[in-house]
Structures are given as C-alpha cells and as structure tokens.
Structure 1
Amino acid sequence: MANVILLEVINNALRSVAEQMSATMVRSSYSTIVKEMMDCSSAIFDGNGRLLAEGANIPIHLNCLGPCLNTVLTKYFSKEDLNPGDLILTNHPYAGGESLGSHHTKDLIMIAPVFHDNNELIAFSMTMLHHKDVGGVWTGDSWTVEIWQEGFLLEPIKLYDKGIRNEALWNVILNNTRTPRDMKGDLMAQISACNIGIKGFKQIVKKYGLELVKEVTEDLLNYSERLTRNEIRLIRDGSYTHEEKILDDGFEGGPYNLKLTVIVEGDNITFDYTGTDKQIRGPINSPLSATISATYYAMRCITNADIPSNQGCQRPIKVIAPEGTLVNCQMPIGCFQRMVTDHILVDLIMGAMANAIPNKVMADSCGTNYDFCSGTNLETHPRGGEITHRQYWGEIVPGGLGARSDKDGITIMSCHVTNCPIPPLEAQEIEAPMLFIERSILPDSEGAGKFRSGFAQRRKWKLVGHDGIFSHVSQKSKIPPQGMHGGKHGNTSKWIINEGKEDEKILDYAMGDVIFLNYGDTITCITASGGGYGNPLERDMEKVKEDVEMGLVSIENAKLKYGVVINPITHEIDYEESNRLRNIK
C-alpha cells in the first residue's frame, strides 16, 4: 500500500480537480439554474471507468455518471474507439436499452477521455449539467407520459471528434431548444469544465508519475471499500423492511407504493426494491441509474463521512430493482420528474434502517418542491425570452429536514439528493417578469420531538408578465413527513393561487399539469417540513424557550407539544408546572 500521507494528498488533489470542474460550470454558465442554483456536477474516473473523485454537488447526479460511463463503454464506444480531443455527449435515459443513462433529458452528460502522451487512455473527465430547455412539452415540466414529450434524445455521440466539433450536431441541439443562448453558454461551460478535468488530472500524473498515480488510486479504492465494509459490520445482520407512498393525494391514480427490504450479511448490504409498484404513465418513474444514485447517497449518509467517496464505497452494495417498476422504468415511459420517487427512496432507506442503526438515521424530510413558470413582458424584460420572447424561471423550493438522534433538523434547505442553494430573489426578478412578495419560515410547522425537525417555508410571488404558464411539484400534501422513535410528524405542503383574493384557489394536488396565469396572479407555496425524532416531552426546555424567543414556536404549542410552560411576558420557564405537565402526559 502506498504511503498513507501520499494517499491523502492525491485523494485531495483529485477532489480538488473535480471541485474546479464544478466551479468552472457555475462561474461560466448562462442559465440561472446553474450560475445561481449550481445544478451541475462533475467527477473523475480512471481509465477503467472507476470513480476516483467527485465534486460536492448534486448527489442524485454524481452516482449516475458511473453507470452512464459503463453504458457508453460497453454499448457505444470501446476504449479503442476513443482519441485525444474526443467529447461524448448524451442525455438519453434509456441509452443501451436499459435505464442506465442520464436521469432525464435535461441532464446532459459529457465524457472526455484523458490520454497520457497522446496514446494511453488513463482517465475520464465527466460533467453533468441541467439545461433550461431541450424542447418537448413547453418547458418539459408538465405531466408527460412518454419520453419523447420530454425533449430531444441524444444517444451517446461524439460532439467533438479528435478536437473537431460536429457542427451538424451542434446546430441540431441549438435548433431544438427555446433558449439557444442559454443552451450554447451552458454547453460551453460544460466543455470548459471537462477540459479543466483533463488538465488537472494530467498535472497530477506529471507531478507524481503515472505508475505511482495508478498504484495510489488502486489503494484509494481498496481503502474506501475496506472502511465501508467496516461500517456495514456494525449493523446487526438481518432483514429490514419499510414502505412509503408517492402521489399520496391520489393524483393520477395514486397513492403508489415504494417497498424496500434491506438485507445485511456480514460486510455486504443489499437493497431490494421488490414489491414496489409498476411504472405509471407519468414522469415520476425513476430510471435504474437514479435509483442506484439515491441508494448510494443514503449509504454515504449512514457511513463515516471521512471515507473517501469513490467506487470502493459502492463495492459492498447490491441494488435489486425489478424492471418495469417505479424504481427501474423502461422505455418509453416518461421520467422527467424522477425526483418525486428518488427523494422518497431516501426516506424509505432511513425508515428501513431505523431499528438497525437508530443513531445514524433521520426522520422524513420535505421531499421534492419545485415550481416553474414562464411569461412575457417586453417592457420590463426586453432582452429576455430569446426566440419566443418568453422568460423562464423556477426554483427548487427548500423545506424542512427531518431530525436525527442528536440534532434538530435543518430549516429551509434542499434535502438529500437535491443540493441546490436558494437563488437570490433579485437575480430571479432581474431575469424574469415576477416579483417576490414573501419568503419566510412558517412558525409551528415543525415535527416535534426530543430533537425537532426543520421548519417549513412559506413563499409567495406575483406574475408581472403576460400569458403565464405555471407548473408545480411537491410532496407529502396528505400524508405528512413521519417522525421517528416517538417523534411527531411534520407539516404538509400546499399550493395556493391568488391567496386572499376573491378567486383564491387551493390546488387540489401536489403535482399537476400546466396552469395558465394572468398578470398580477400570485402563487403561494407552503412546503412540507420534516419529522421529529424522539419523545417531544424529553426535549430540553431551554431549547423550547429558545425557539419561542425566536418566534419559531408559539407559547401555546410549547405547552401543547413539549409540555413546557412559558410566561408570555418574561419568557421565563415555569419549571414546576412544566415538570408536572410532562409527568401527566
């Protein structure tokens, strides 16, 4: 085994390269979803297609890149077909006949081979970036039932061949989007990031020598595998099951069931999704590559964070996902909104492991919350809209995260497999005809517990454009996020059009097809929060008081939920009355 210091130095050098790749995309992209919300990812693989390092980006992206690379190398291009200057592009979820490609059509994946002395293939530099529009049903965000409604499809193809760009392909892509300026800028950002990866890996090889780098990376993979197996051994052998529901409000025939059995045997772990419902005519189906990503992410959550994140971590993990189900959809079903399923997969895994490793799991979180809209107002936004004069905007709306055995849940943060920050309000208002009215924490929305969940978000904006076309996605509108080990459930989600006006309408479902808006219409989103962990009556009274003083918990709910009596004037705790009340409860 290589010197442990050198092992750590090269591991961090590889991670640094991956981080530089992501930073390049964020700093040079055109679209808000990337430059403000950082919806992109990057990774470095060795010459055999094994993950060496990844940027700290979108978890659901990262573990997709490995299966996609394997599909490309086994079904489309052998290593002998690749040359310096090549750049492969794909966005096809069903490339190669299985669902082991991109997760959905807007996620374009680029693969750049790295050569040593222009003859030996030594690595791959890969990026994934969520593009604003790839054709399809308006912005592709409505309720689709087949893959062709979700945009153009690119089976793996060389965008660059020996450094020469395929101009015909380039023009086809730019002619099949409503936002060619953003598409061009974001593609160039991806290309630049891939080149940064090539340059960075070559610099590492130049500094340490190719043979030493090969030796160290092999040791790194084995090291991560060994540490991961050590973590699995700490879990009691056995079979652990759990079920969760999606489309819990009955939309499109729901609710549908997700089922999981986790089997722990020594230092191996199997995630078996047998029993999950069949795929449906809609976009919430998860490709196998996305299901694998969510599973690997959950495993990283319950294992030591210090373990280097590479393919070695994945070796002890087996995923069983029957074909034609919600967790392994098959052509030609839609999958654009696969995150509706993938978010719940994390809750599903946490729920299954709740009794096996109670100190390492967390209660349910808010799940998926999106809204997307477009409108026109050439007086206020004359340069927007590109071809159609429409300006597009949207946000991954964070809610509350579930609590853990020793920590409160985080408030208003993108949870689990989504890792996008909130874009500045001003940036959205500058680029689109909309005006924010409110973004706030919703008091008393937490899942109570010894450790409470994060709070829900209340968010409201107004359309100051014409011909608005709106779509929305959220979860847990009927069945709230569940608590764990005595913790209480959290807040449910809700969408309201024109709140407080005569034509106010609470939307029937947490998802739906497009809704047409008029100038001045408002959209209010109340997100889900998370579930609590442990008995609320065991919560530290001082923490309850702190939440009351911050305006997060009312005095009434401090007493009702936590059994803590607080003076409304002085905010002092009545310990005698609180202890008496807690003993009664």
Structure 2
Amino acid sequence: MGEELIAQSGRLIRQRLLEIPDGTWRARQYYEQPETIFRVELVATKEGDTLTFDFTDTSEQVSYGINCSYWATWGAVFASLFPVLAHDMVWNDGIFKCVKMIAPEGTLVNARRPAPVSMATIGTVQLVRNLALIVLSKMLGACEKHRDRASGVWAPTNMHYHLAGVSAEGEYLAHHGTDTFAGCGGARAFKDGVDVGGFLHAPASRSANAERHEMSFPHRYLYRRLVPDSGGPGRYRGGVCHEFAVIPHDSAANKFTAVLMPGRGTEAPMSQGIFGGYPGCNTASIQFRNGNAAESPYDLASTRGEREERLGMGVTEIGETDIQYIRYDGGGGYGDPLDRDPE
C-alpha cells in the first residue's frame, strides 16, 4: 500500500509538471538587521517533468541563529509546493523525486557547522517559503489549466514575541503569544485573500482569544484589531492583517520583559504580490515609553508616548507606564489594481 501511494504521487506530480510550459522564474527577499541586510535569492527552472530550485547568490551564513540547514531549506520549499502544486495528491516521497535543490554550502540556506540555526524556523525558513510560493505562482500563471492555483504571498514573517514577568501572587511566568498565527491570506487568481487567514502551509493554525492570553499572563490588551487597507492592492486584494497593543497588568512587578523577533518586513514589505499585485503592509514593533494607556487608545494613530521602533530582534523591558505595539503584515495582491471591480 505505502509503495503504491508513493508511486501514485510520483506519477501525478510528473504528469502535472508536463502540463506546465518549461521556463525559469526568479524571486528575491531580504532579511533586515540594524547593521546590515541579508539576501535570499531563488531561481526555479522547470524542464520536462523536473523542477529545480537554485539558491545560488544567497548571502553567506551569519553569526545569528537565523541560518538554515540544508534540510530545513528543503522542508520550507515543500511547505509551499505541497499546497500549491500537489494539493490533490498524497504528500510523500514520490513528489520529492522530481524536485532538485541547489543550496550552496556556507550560505543562509545551507549553513556550515558550527553556524547557529536555532531560529531558522522563524528566520530564513520564512523567506524560503515565501520565495517558493512566488516562483511557483509565476510558473502556474504560465499555464491556463492551473492558473487558478497562483497566489500572492501569505503571512510572510511569522513574527513571534515572548513575554516574561511576575504574577500578582509573585509567581514567575513566561508567555508565548499566538497572535502571529492569525496570519493573512494572499490574494488568489479568482478572489481576495482571506483576512487574518492563517498560513498557506498550516490551515489549522489558530490564534488564542485575547482573554485567554490575559488569563495566562499578567498583561492587558488595549486593543486587538484588523488593520484597514493592509492587504496588498490588486485585481484581488490580499487579506488584511491585525495589530495589537499590550501593557503590564495585575503584576506584582508592574512590568514584563518582551523578547521580540522582528527583522523581516519592517523596512520593505515581504508579502509580495503577483502579476501586478502590490505587497501588503509592512510589520512594526514599537515601544511607547510613558504611554497614554489611561486614555484607552484604540489603534496606532491614537497611541502616544516616547516612541522607540525596533528593527532587529532583541529584548526590551515594558514598564508600568509603557505600551508594546505590534503589527503584522497583510497578504500580497493579485493582478493590476486598475483591473479591480470598483464595486
């Protein structure tokens, strides 16, 4: 049974590739840090029933833990390939056999030991996943039969945050926020992207209610809302993202420590559109010192204080009078916005 399923998937994926015109498609994204910018470059070539992903010209490995091992990069490619190109097949080794990958050793996508890789899954893996979706969408757009599978980028950054603090009873607590799992859908060839639509590769992802977060950690949401017009414009727009702001609350220490993981999509949006579609909004991680929480701000424009915007990952303390604000990115658009139905 297992061998037959593998053989079946192999036949189906090769048949699908043969239905698509041969060609080469390119995409590039950047990983921002305060002192420099790293590049991940992908060239996909489809020839007959074989598909090659080539990461030559990607930046060299770095001293941060954002590097990928070869197999992490391989997995990130298939995180986009499976749902886009093999959505109606059994996902197994049969699909792997028609795919090749070139990932030069000593780069961000194939780090040489002892390079750190502990944050690969929320680091370079996200860029690889985005790039694979972009080149696959370009490839599918060249085929009338499969054009409707193309999509703008979904939830491109997976920007995590973690909090540490003390409860009202003096108990030390740590908290992993699930806001990032709200995600956003990229626009499709036939419809707008899904607002806070999760991840393309993980349709079962869920973001907990604000009340659940507040029950498990001594902080309070000032607001948690959809960001208007945050999806990338296009004939079909990308799904909108959300933003939120939190403050210390019901804590013996009246403060908490925030471990923040920005560094992608802050300066340049990563939720790229496709076929003339625009990118979604960029991400943001901002601390408002001596903020106006007592005025109950309800969005970024109404949140005030001494503003500190964070570009790279790091740790910061949010005191009794401070506000921590985070915005995720909207989905990429599809097609020229001028072709959008005004109704």
- Shared fold (TM-score, shorter chain, > 0.5): yes
Q: Secondary structure at the match of 1:297?
A: helix
* Alignment of 1:534 onto 2:308: no
Partner of 1:308: 90
Q: 1:477 aligns with which of 258, 266, 283?
A: 266
1:408 maps to which of 192, 197, 203? 192
SS at match of 1:514: strand
Residue in 2 aligned with 1:507?
309
Corresponding residue number in structure 2 for 1:352: 135
- The residue type paired with residue 307 of structure 2 is K
Return the letter of the residue paired with 2:240.
F
Ranges in structure 1 where 5+ consecutive residues have no aligned partner: 1-215, 543-585
Question: Does the aligned pair in 1 maintain the 2:179–2:208 contact within 8 Å?
Answer: no
- Partner Cα distance (1:370, 1:220) in 2: 37
* Pairs within 5 Å for 1:10-89: none
- After TM superposition, give the deviation of residue 418 of structure 1 in Å: 5.6
- Give the structure, 1 or 2, with the largest relative contact order (CA under 8 Å, sep 6 or more): 2
Output the amino acid matched with 2:185. Answer: L
Residues 528, 278 of structure 1: CA spacing in aligned structure 2 closer, same or farther, 3 A cutoff? same
Residue identity matched to 1:468: F
Distance 1:235 1:528 in 2: 31
CA drift of 1:351 comes to: 2.7
Instruction: Give SS of 2:127's match.
Output: helix
* Equivalent of 2:5 in 186, 198, 220: 220
Alpha carbons 1:393, 1:432 under 8 Å: kept: no
Kept after mapping to 2: 8 A contact 1:262/1:269: yes
**Paired position in structure 1 for 2:48:** 266
Which residue among 212, 232, 243 is the counterpart of 2:17? 232
Q: Check the 8 A contact 2:318/2:324 in 1, yes or no.
A: no
Question: What fraction of aligned residue pairs are identical, expressed as a percent?
Answer: 26
Tell me, yes or no, if the aligned pair for 2:83 and 2:200 is still in contact at 8 Å: no
Q: Which residue of 2 aligns with 1:524?
A: 325
Q: 2:279 aligns with which of 486, 489, 494?
A: 489
Distance in 1 between residues matched to 2:321 and 2:107, nearest whole Å? 42
Spell out the pairing of 1:76-155 with structure 2 (5 A cutoff).
Answer: none
Number of residue pairs aligned between Structure 1 and Structure 2: 316
Alpha-carbon deviation of 1:364? 2.6
Q: What is the identity, as a one-letter code, of the residue corresponding to 2:339?
A: E
TM-score norm. by structure 2 comes to: 0.85
Q: Contact (CA 8 Å) 1:477, 1:493: kept in 2 or not? A: yes
Match of 2:161 among 363, 366, 371: 371
After TM superposition, list the pairs within 5 Å mapping 1:552-567 onto structure 2. Answer: none
Aligned residue for 2:256? Answer: 468
The residue type equivalent to 1:538 in the other structure is D
Question: Cα distance, 1:520 vs. partner?
Answer: 4.6
Distance, in Å, in 1 between the alignment partners of 2:138 and 2:98 is 21
Looking at structure 1, the residues matched to 102 and 260 of structure 2 have their Cα atoms a distance apart, in angstroms, of 31
For structure 2, the residue ranges without an aligned partner over 5 or more in a row are 142-146, 293-303
- TM-score normalized with structure 1 length: 0.51
Q: Please report how far the alpha carbon of residue 427 of structure 1 lies from its aligned counterpart in structure 2 after TM superposition.
A: 2.2
1:390 Cα deviation after fit = 3.2
Larger helix proportion of the pair: 1
Distance 1:462 1:477 in 2: 22
Structure 2 vs 1, CA of residues 287 and 310 (structure 1 numbering), >3 Å: closer, same or farther? same
CA RMSD of aligned residues (A): 2.1
Give 2:231's aligned amino acid. E
